[in-house]
Structure 1
């Protein structure tokens, strides 16, 4: 099974980048898998060592096809820089969203290296094929800039655009993203 999207340029129309509603319906109704992890339309919380192990295992999995957007907060805050629930819904079927507590976010640096760590209020996108020796540009840390900060939903839309751009890369292998039982 493959999904092809196309677009056309309409003069003077605003740019709206979003996953197709059909993809969201598939995520809701089918039991899609990405490697060994279910594809969901909600953020996953990473609060303890076993969840961190599972998170790190999935991020480096060669079977993973979808990007992982990792978020964290500062120790005395609940601010991720973006609403995790809204982001997960916006990128459902195109990416996983994980929310790590600050102590475990620091552990990610130890496991993956300082270039691939998490920063509170920013989003790290681990593209498919990640390993700790990868080029940092391929797995960006994206911060909300002051221009986007004026609009509460702008950072979420920007992250959605980045994930959508990753989804249209020349890579066409989707064998790792199958419904259970297929």
Structure 2
């Protein structure tokens, strides 16, 4: 019996060893499968990481190109703005000159009747020619019959001619000093 018990224990031990060996083989297969899964996942993560790095690099390069393009466009726009500002300054200066010239022409046009009158008197004086048979004119010699065309009263009565305050003061002084002598 002792042999029989030992033989039963040996068979049980053998069966237990076979079961343990089978379990170890199963665990080794599971471990190998898990290692394969982990390796595949790691490789997949590495590939995805490389793809993400490549995509990030492409995005960064595209961003840098866009920034460079926009910077160049901004510089060109600033140059264009500067050119336009210079053109505006030139045009403003030209407008100022033209406005001044326009004011001068307006003043000339306002004075035209006086100038026409003066030119007609000058033409009449040229037609008359020099005085024949007379010597040098004296201080009392009158250039025309009647009142002189240059008298202050005739000039101040002209509708388009205006005297400044200084001229008016001079005119009054002339009347006082020279108006009583004849």
Shorter-normalised TM range: under 0.3
Give the structure with the larger helix fraction: 2
TM-score after normalising by structure 2: 0.19
Give the structure with the larger strand fraction: 1
Q: Tell which has more relative contact order, 1 or 2 (C-alpha 8 A, sep 6+).
A: 1
Rg larger for: 2
